[in-house]
Structure 1
Amino acid sequence: MLEVDMKTTIMTLYQKGYNKTQIGKMLSIDRKTVRKVLREETQGKELPQETQEGTWPSMLDEYKEYIEIQLSKELSITRIHQDLQKEFGVACGYTTLRDYVKKIRKSQPHAYMVLHSLPGEEAQVDFGYIGTLRVNGTPRKAWIFVMSLSYSRYMYVAVTLDQSVQTFIRCHTEAFRYFGGVPQTVKIDNLKAAIVEADFYEPTVQRTYAAFAGHYGFLPNPCRVYTPTDKGKVESNVRYVKENCFKGRDFKEIEEAKRFLLSWLKETANRRIHGTTSRKPETVYLETEKAYLKPLPAQDFLFSKSGAATVRTDCHIVHDGNYYSVPYTYIGMEVDVIEVNHLLKIYHAGKEIALHSLCGNAKGEHVTDKSHYPSTKTITQEELLSSYREKMAQVGTGALAFLEAFKDTEMYQCHHYRSISGILALRKKYGEDAVDKACQRACHYGNITYRAVKKICESGLYHLPLEDEQELSMEGRSKIRKLSDYRQMTGLGVISHE
């Protein structure tokens, strides 16, 4: 026989919304026992009432308001489940909460805000499938591309045979020409032609479409995923075009359909009284919106090639046989490359990171923007020479004379400064005085090389006095010993360092 506290527990759980099977499992007792207790305890008492949907009240009913608030914050069911357990100690399973949320969402009507746009502020675009049209006698799948100005509802429509990037951009270009200008933003669906990754917070815009948007000066504004109301104006226009222009009409060829569409667009669609604005789209467009559109660019957007490349350690990518620089921070990364109007645009994650003029038909050319290198690598030859001059002057007059003589050598002409770097490094081992005298001796004998200065230091020849200049002028330079003679004398022990 069950104790009183067990019966009380059964009743409490039942009143919270648990069914007989759940209570039995929770208390490790038979379901029949639970049913018997409920019958005994509820005799002569009012039983919990069923809802209109025929389900018993839920244990989560008392937290309904809290759950609705959390859902309005767009929190996930997993997060709400965790918070219910942590903050209220609610002992319900995830599936129980999930099912409860489904019921809440079914019972709540969706509310949407009316989105008003300013003149020239926004256009919305979308594709709509219209069945098949004959192309040279062969049936082909066909779509309509629709761009609608959000303020006036003035629209442009084109028939297409695909939804590729090229088609998408071509239709944009034709629409802008039709409007005589460009809106500030274009709201697009998450089409592969425009969006690589559909993310509400950071959508990745397809590289070619991003370049196209930059060329025409508008901002692509992707809709939220599974939220068609974000572009409700063009959605309704797509339905209108399909129903009013194409439904029930049989065109012999696609060209016939295109001609009819242009005529219908001008005479019917843009001159009808719009159901929402109660005005003709053409009238609102001409009287107000057209003046707010941005002017068309001087050149159309023309692209021929696009692809991917990897940034090399020398901060360049290889494209069509030539080398183009990229900021050093992208070394080792894959970037997107696109040719636009004789320019090469380089993108990473949808962001333009480099712009160069194309080399044309040349091959093996390096096109380099020095700002793409680290600051330590962009020092000019003049700046580098000035730095070495300062350091050699600190060593002494002999070292400074060596540097000036070095400027007349082939090494300097080829921008190789390793000789000077090597001489400065000799200071650590021999000291500045020895290096200065060695440079002076090397200059005296016209041997302006790092190797000569190093040998003089190693052999201790910098201790020897230089030959008198008067003697040189009287007896000629034939009496000057070569450095090789000094090395030989040192090897024979003729010259002592003592």
Structure 2
Amino acid sequence: MPTPRVTMSKIRHTLQLLHGGTLSTRQIGAALGISKSTVSEIASYARVAGVDWALAQTLTDEELQSRLYKPPVPRASRHLEPDWAHIHRELRRPGVTLQLLWEEYQQQHAGQAYKYSAFCEKYQAWSRRLKRSMRQTHEAGDKLFVDYAGQTVPIVDASTGEITQAQIFVAVLGASNYTYACATASQKATDWVASIMGALEFIGGVPRLLVPDQPRALMVRPDRYEPTSHRLLEELSAHYGLPVMPARPAKPRDKPKVEVGVQVVERWILARLRHQTFFNLAALNRAIATLLVDLNQRPFKKLPGNRASAFTELDRPALRPLPAARMAIARFKPARVNIDYHVELDGHYYSVPHALVGEVMELRITATTVEVLHGNKRVAAHTLNGRKGAHTTTPEHMPASHRAHLQWTPAKLIAWGERIGAATAAVVRWQMEHRAHPEQGYRSCLGLMRLGREYGADRLEAACARAQSIRSPSYKSIASILSCGLDQRPLETPIPMQASLPLHENVRGPGYYH
């Protein structure tokens, strides 16, 4: 029978203080004059023997000692070897420790179990025989490691024969080694984020942490300690509730799981596709998806099961659910607000509140929308419009004086022109008739009104007459005539306006220069 290292009275007192639950092992040890490891050992023996303070009070010293310190069994029957692969797998579950697993092992095998110190030493010796990437202990549902493979796959353009190289994205879950792969056209930020979203949908949930590398596409400012993430990666993190912890630059040991995952994908997927020709990314991704099933079902060499079974047992129950909606992938572009309170994107103009004229905005562009951000605050949102030269305007963004212009109609504008004179009315009609839509001529007509207020109705009428004579009735031409004083010169040879004058502000005709 093992001999306790302290007196039975101190063992009883220890059990009493442990039962109170208000003191730590260090405090109990200090109070009783014993080490905290002795307190932990007494607590462990009592837990294994099923002896609590209430039961201890009913036992004599001899009975308590025999329960806590059972006699050893004959040497031939001692030390039943644990299932180390099972121990290794269970350590990946959240909250599971070697101490807990040893206690469970000791309860099952009583006197045949190793002591805790020997149990730990033997597990460490067993785990050293595994590859380093397997030796790391990752909790279930904890980390998703992502990276791009160095190897690429050629894509042939069927019409031109041009060859581009598809990039191969790889993601690996830490606990189960469950692997995802897909092909993308490049390694831009949008490709990274779309691939990460594909990986999350493939595993059907969200882990607690994302571990990427620090490529320039994802990190605005790579850094060993505090890297600055790309705006799109920050949006992904916020949308999925997925914190990002980039691996340190040039430190592959920070992400050995995905380093090995890349090798596995290159060996069991890309090598098998080397004799096939692909004409688009969709065909390549279908082939990868087929081989991915086989990869995840390949048996482990030194552990029982495979990636798919380990995922079902470990990672899947620990993942958080995906958001109800998929994140819309956006691109970002700076833009300054023009004097007409619009920002330009790909030749189209979108309104913002007029008070922000001259400010620099950030445009967030998705497949369907344009959001205008000012200091991380959304100040405008519009449906994406691809019509070049056109405007998308929200009336609330306009000054009060400009909103009044919305009441103008072609008939009202022509009536205004007739009050000025025949030449002005003809120019207004031309603005309406030679545009794809009459409203496109409103701005030019409003500009003519401003010129009338600045130079007077008579000079405006004379300028419009000269503009007709030189076949250039645009707003810019009339403004130039007035600013140069050409309206005050007599017309030498009036030339009637062409019915089908080309719509171009730079066409003035030879009379303009006389």
Task: Give yes or no for TM over 0.5.
Answer: no
TM-score range, shorter chain: 0.3 to 0.5
